[in-house]
Chains A and B, each alone.
Chain A
Amino acid sequence: MSLQSASQSSSSSVLQIASTEDESELGASASQSASQLSSEPLPAVSPLGGTNLKVFLSTFLTIFLAELGDKTQLTTLLLAAKSHAPWIVFAGAGTALVITSLLGVWLGCWLARRISAKTLETAAGVLLLLISAQLFWEVFHL
């Protein structure tokens, strides 16, 4: 993990040039560093630079779009088409999806108590970029 984050921090300086054109993003990260330096964490503000609603919306939109046409959705639609009982399939699939996302949030929370915030945020950033790369790969190999 430390090797990954080390190689990523060297490439993030290159990537920074690409994002300087976005003023709002820079402002958000500047206010974030200000709140960390003054050691008075603002309530309901995440390192992703948003309020609860912003976090909800960005999480919802990215995961929803990523899951459209994904293998989980294909599994549910095949089961629903084969069984002619779509509501039972939806009940089973829905319970499974809520439990897996609960497990994901719980694991992230568990890691946050054991790993330093800096390491975890770097790892999370790398992980999100890997997910993005996987999706881009799918786009060009559809």
Chain B
Amino acid sequence: MDWHLLGVSFVMVFVSELGDKSQLAAIALSGSSKSLKAIFLGTSAALLLASFLGVLLGEGISQLLPMAWVKGIAATGFAIMGLKLLLSQFELAAICDPETPAESP
């Protein structure tokens, strides 16, 4: 067991991932969601799979996948989640919800 290599890869990934976009996304999502376990599992599973593919495929991954499309889809996903959060605020403040039980007999 190469403890030095284990330590080096741990420290390098830990430092480069601190404050990176996936950790910021985890902060943003968990602050506004009650299902913390789902956020944690989703984030770590995604990161583990991404780094597993990186280890497995090496440099080949950028040739296998159209990276512009992959990043574009991810960017759209983050935009939708962000807009959903902002719009839920906006509608609460501005529009009276028609399904409130106040008028029901």
Q: Are B55 and A118 in contact (CB under 8 A)?
A: no
> Count of B residues near A, CB < 8 Å?
87
Residues of chain B contacted by A102 (CB below 8 angstroms): 40, 44
Decide if A135 touches B78 in the complex (CB within 8 Å).
yes
Which of B1, B27, B76 has the most CB atoms of chain A within a 10 A radius of its CB? B27
B75-104 vs A, CB cutoff 8 Å, 1 = contact: the mask equals 111111111111111111000010111000
Q: Do A37 and B35 touch (CB < 8 A)?
A: no
Interface residue B31 (Cβ < 8 Å from any Cβ of A)? yes
Residue in chain A with minimal CB distance to B12: A75
Q: Cβ of A100 and Cβ of B23 under 8 Å apart?
A: yes
Residues of B within 8 Å of A88, CB to CB, are 1-2, 5-6, 9
Please indicate the chain A residues that have their CB under 8 angstroms from the CB of B37 in the complex: 52
Interface size class of A (residues with CB under 8 A): 35 or more
Complex CA–CA separation, A58 to B32 (angstroms): 14
- Give the complex CA separation of A101 and B28 in angstroms: 12
Contact check: which of B30, B40, B72, B77 meets A139 at CB < 8 Å?
Answer: B72
Does B75 lie within 8 Å of A132, measured CB to CB?
A: yes
A interface residues, Cβ below 8 angstroms from B: 8-9, 12-13, 15-16, 19, 25, 28-34, 36-38, 41, 44-49, 51-53, 55-77, 79-81, 83, 85-105, 107-109, 111-112, 115, 117-118, 120-129, 131-136, 138-139, 142
